[in-house]
Amino acid sequence: MLNRLVKLLKGQPAGRDIPDALWQATLADYPFLAQLPDSQRNALRTLSGRFLAQKEFHGAQGLVITDAIAVAIAAQACLPVLQLGLDWYDDFVGIVVHPGQMLARREQTDEAGVVHRYSEVLAGEAMEGGPVTLSWQDVASAGDLAGHGYNVVIHEFVHKIDMRDGTPDGCPPLPSRAARGIWHDTMQAAYDGFREKVTIAERFGGEPTWLDPYGATAPAEFFAVACEAYFVNRSRFNEDFPALTPLFDRFFRTDQPPALG
């Protein structure tokens, strides 16, 4: 069970690996992890163990958090920070896992002061300064859905990265104004082009986009949706967004040795 694994990892020196049988089963379930180069795959295993020792998992609606569930989430969550380090996730501890998708009640006040209440079906949610919530049904299907560029864990944890400098806006913390300018210009051009394709598909019967059209709802969602595809199906992502691949490479440092901090 999860408690036994977490206690084991907490009680060992830094760098202790997840048990081999459990890790190999995770790789089998999520081939996009198995396809990583050996050095990155080994580093991901170690980083995932550290992640498990730092975070607390909670099952909702009767879901029992097994070691397999926890390791699957940890490995996918650590993929975006493999070269950046776990400090990027130090603003929260809790991860809440539901058996399936959730129904969230929303309330929004428009410019006229009218309050609108509605419900929204969610596969996951990242709270600023708070926990991450995930649908296990969606997490479990991530291996099969990698061909479509879909991954709910990466989506929500990229939101966490985006939130480190405030409300998510599609631009993560960057070291300089020049870097932010390059990021904004590159992302905005890609976002505008993607929104146009989604509009043509939805309103005029055009070809559906490969990337999830949910990315057209806001720059922050476009960043998260784009990162899903970048990490689980890089070759196809590069076909549709060749300008974003080198931008993400620089930020996520995918051409550098993994950081295990």
Sign for the CA dihedral angle at 136, 89, 259, 253 comes to: positive
User: How is the chain split into domains, by residue range?
Assistant: 2-252
Compute how many other C-beta atoms are within 10 angstroms of the C-beta atom of residue 122. 17
For 129, 158, 163, 170, 220, the CA distances from 173, given in Å and listed in that order, are 15, 12, 8, 10, 13
Would you state the pLDDT for residue 124?
84
The per-residue pLDDT for range 193-218, each reduced to its tens digit, is 999 999 999 999 999 999 999 999 99
Share of the chain above pLDDT 70, in %: 84
Would you state the pLDDT for residue 116?
46
Task: Report whether pLDDT(21) > 80.
Answer: yes
The per-residue pLDDT for range 139-160, each reduced to its tens digit, is 999 999 999 999 999 999 999 9
Q: Which fold has domain 2-252?
A: Cyclin A; domain 1 (1.10.472)
For 18, 49, 53, 82, 193, the CA distances from 14, given in Å and listed in that order, are 12, 9, 10, 16, 45
Q: Could you tell me if 28 and 41 are in contact, meaning their C-beta atoms sit under 8 angstroms apart?
A: no
In the block, residue with structure tokens 């598909």: 201
Out of 21-35, 102-116, 139-153, 157-171, which region has the weakest mean confidence (pLDDT)?
102-116
Share of the chain above pLDDT 90, in %: 77
First to last CA, the chain: 26
pLDDT band at 13 (very low <50, low <70, confident <90, very high): very low
The per-residue pLDDT for range 220-254, each reduced to its tens digit, is 999 999 999 999 999 999 999 999 999 999 999 98
The per-residue pLDDT for range 110-119, each reduced to its tens digit, is 566 555 454 5
Burial class of 140 by CB neighbour count within 10 A (0 to 12, 13 to 18, 19+): middle
Token pair of 187 as six digits: 């992302």
Question: How far is Cα 68 from Cα 72, in angstroms, rounded to an integer?
Answer: 6
Of 56, 65, 143, 146, the closest CA to residue 98 belongs to 65
DSSP string, 159-211: HHHHGGGSS--S----SSHHHHHHHHHHHHHHHHHHHHHHHHHHHH--PPPSS
pLDDT band at 167 (very low <50, low <70, confident <90, very high): confident
**Amino acid at residue number 119:** S
Does the predicted model carry a pTM greater than 0.85? yes
Task: Report whether pLDDT(81) > 60.
Answer: yes
Token pair of 203 as six digits: 């309103």
Question: How far is Cα 193 from Cα 47, in angstroms, rounded to an integer?
Answer: 36
- What is the DSSP code (8-state) at residue 18? P
Token pair of 219 as six digits: 């720059």
In the block, residue with structure tokens 């209440």: 117
**Amino acid at residue number 203:** R
Strand partners, 20: none
Q: Could you tell me if 151 and 166 are in contact, meaning their C-beta atoms sit under 8 angstroms apart?
A: no
Tell me the mean pLDDT in the region 177-189.
97
Question: How far is Cα 146 from Cα 137, in angstroms, rounded to an integer?
Answer: 15
Would you state the pLDDT for residue 108?
60
Would you state the pLDDT for residue 122?
75
Task: Report whether pLDDT(120) > 90.
Answer: no
Q: Could you tell me if 160 and 130 are in contact, meaning their C-beta atoms sit under 8 angstroms apart?
A: no
Tell me the mean pLDDT in the region 92-103.
89
